[in-house]
């Protein structure tokens, strides 16, 4: 399987940053992320990944660091020199950026890391006010732009082939300029002449990751993605997403195995289940009842503010589902909980999906996490996962020093690197899967 880890310090969110050993003071230094990247490389992970945003919601900063962070691409460049094998996946928006600049940034990171760059392509959900836009463009418009954006970036990467570099000291010819060609792109969103002013790295290409779950997003992934950062809170949603990605891959002339579904996996780990549960609850202890009620209202449109805690929520209580793509996965997950479990108000408000994120979550021991990951993988629902440790540094340590080695011992993950490039890691897994199909 393919395993990555988020460099966003999720283990410090909520109350985690207040622990004496959190190291929160170093949050805006490269050393903070580098420490995690080195641990991940020691565990032979495929890549580290830095989510990013272009806006700053202020209310959350009263209690935690929220979306405040270093620039993702600059951070990865600072890590490149101090690591040797692990992939470095940065996040750049196609809604707010320009393809020439992005193509150059990413190829620069690829050169600096000797072939380990990756691009998480996002269309963004917020931030328009920081880029002179009156509102966020509709989802379809954002993906139309993203498709053209990615096309231009890849054309620019090919415009200056590494083979054009002659560096012939005897003749004095530096490059064969006949091979360096303009792209002459004139599309609905961009006009880019090219070529790029940086040669393509003379090795494997830059893998692409995508995270959108809408129909347009899944189709975009079917066209270009090597990896999909999925928000699949249960195995049923993971299987459905895997099936959709396979169908869209085939529709675009690709094999289903060309796209790897990697759900975010929120891991609150402890030596015992009781310890893990206590860690989870402590992390979110400042999320009060009113905040939980507001989250339910914003996701499924059901106002529980006047409901007693012991009243059961029935499927007939649910409002008509919204047709908006905003929060769709979260909305569908909460509706399924009500439809299948009919929880009391108190039970729903205590759910991890209300207290925390809508990611796949394991709150338990390393054994619990191993069993659930194995089950999802062997059922064909996922191709790996992106670890998002939560609660405390201990969850990060247990993930990298206990869980990943356990997966390796079971033959589900590598015990050592066999490649020095990001794409090489992915191809190595493909070869292993063909050799050991069971």
| Secondary structure of 163-225 as H, E, C letters | HHEEEECCCCEEECHHHCCCCCEECCCCEECCCCCCCCCCCCCCCEEECCCCHHHHHHHHHHC
pLDDT confidence of residue 435: 42
CA gap 216, 138 in Å, rounded: 11
Q: What whole-number distance in Å separates Cα of residue 124 and Cα of residue 122? A: 5
Q: What is the largest CA-CA distance in the chain?
A: 86
Which pLDDT score is estimated for 8? 93
Give the DSSP letter of residue 344: B
Q: With contact defined as beta carbons under 8 Å apart, do 44 and 82 qualify?
A: no
DSSP letter for each residue of 230-274 = E---SHHHHHHHHHHHHHHHHHTT--GGGSEEEEEEEEEE-SSHH
Question: Buried b / exposed e across 9-35, counting CB within 10 Å, b at 16+?
Answer: bbbbbbbbbebeebbbeebeebebbbe
pLDDT tens for the chain, residues 1 to 438: 999 999 999 888 888 899 888 899 999 999 999 999 999 999 999 999 999 999 998 988 888 898 899 999 999 999 999 999 999 999 999 999 999 999 999 999 999 999 999 999 999 989 999 999 999 999 999 999 999 999 999 999 999 999 999 999 999 999 999 999 999 999 999 999 999 999 999 999 999 999 878 889 999 999 999 999 998 989 999 999 999 999 999 999 999 999 999 999 999 999 999 999 999 999 888 888 998 999 999 889 999 999 999 999 999 999 988 766 666 777 888 998 999 999 999 999 988 888 877 789 999 999 999 999 999 999 999 999 999 999 999 999 999 999 999 999 999 999 999 999 999 999 987 665 544 443
Distance from C-alpha of 68 to C-alpha of 53, rounded to nearest angstrom: 8
Which H or E run includes 435?
helix 422-435
Beta strands 360-364 and 227-230: pairing type?
A: unpaired
DSSP type of residue 399:
I
Per-residue model confidence (pLDDT) at position 436 = 41
- From CA 438, how far away is CA 434, in angstroms rounded? 9
* Cα 373 from chain centre: 17
Q: Are 33 and 7 in contact (CB under 8 A)?
A: yes
Q: Give percent helix, percent strand, percent coil of the chain, each to the nearest 5.
A: 45, 15, 40
What's the whole-model pTM score?
0.91
Residue with tokens 């006949």: 178
């Amino acid at each position: 399987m393919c395993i990555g880890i988020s460099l966003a310090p999720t283990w410090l969110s909520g109350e985690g940053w207040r622990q004496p050993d959190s190291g929160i003071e170093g949050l805006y230094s490269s050393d903070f992320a580098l420490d995690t990247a080195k641990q991940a490389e020691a565990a032979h992970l495929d890549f580290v990944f830095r989510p990013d945003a272009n806006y700053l919601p202020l209310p959350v900063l009263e209690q935690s660091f929220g979306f405040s962070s270093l620039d993702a691409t600059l951070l990865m460049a600072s890590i490149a020199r101090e690591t040797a094998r692990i992939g470095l996946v940065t996040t750049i928006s196609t809604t707010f950026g320009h393809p020439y600049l992005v193509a150059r940034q990413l190829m620069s990171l690829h050169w600096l890391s000797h072939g380990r760059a990756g691009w998480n392509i996002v269309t963004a959900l917020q931030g328009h006010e920081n880029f002179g836009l009156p509102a966020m463009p509709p989802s379809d418009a954002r993906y139309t732009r993203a498709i053209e954006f990615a096309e231009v970036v890849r054309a620019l990467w090919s415009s200056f082939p590494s083979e054009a570099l002659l560096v012939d000291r005897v003749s004095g010819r530096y490059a064969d300029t006949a091979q360096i060609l303009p792209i002459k792109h004139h599309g609905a969103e961009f006009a880019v002449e090219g070529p790029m002013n940086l040669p393509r790295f003379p090795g494997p290409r830059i893998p692409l990751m995508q995270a959108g779950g809408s129909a347009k997003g899944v189709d975009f992934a079917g066209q270009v993605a090597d990896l999909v950062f999925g928000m699949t809170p249960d195995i049923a949603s993971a299987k459905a997403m895997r099936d959709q990605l396979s169908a869209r891959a085939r529709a675009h002339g690709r094999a289903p195995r060309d796209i790897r579904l990697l759900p975010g996996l929120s891991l609150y780990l402890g030596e015992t289940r009781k310890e893990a549960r206590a860690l989870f609850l402590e992390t979110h202890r400042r999320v009060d009842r009113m905040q939980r009620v507001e989250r339910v209202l914003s996701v499924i449109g059901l106002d529980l503010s006047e409901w007693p805690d012991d009243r059961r929520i029935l499927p007939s209580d649910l409002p008509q589902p919204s047709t908006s793509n905003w929060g769709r996965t979260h909305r569908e997950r909460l509706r399924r909980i009500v439809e299948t479990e009919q929880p009391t108000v108190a039970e729903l408000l205590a759910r991890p999906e209300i207290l925390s994120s809508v990611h796949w979550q394991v709150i338990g021991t390393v054994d619990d996490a191993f069993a659930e990951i194995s089950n999802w993988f062997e059922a064909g629902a996922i191709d790996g996962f992106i670890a998002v440790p939560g609660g405390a540094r201990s969850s990060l340590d247990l993930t990298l020093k206990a869980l990943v080695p356990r997966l390796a011992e079971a033959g589900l993950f590598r015990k050592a690197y066999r490649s020095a490039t990001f794409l090489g890691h992915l191809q190595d897994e493909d070869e292993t899967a063909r050799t050991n199909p069971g």
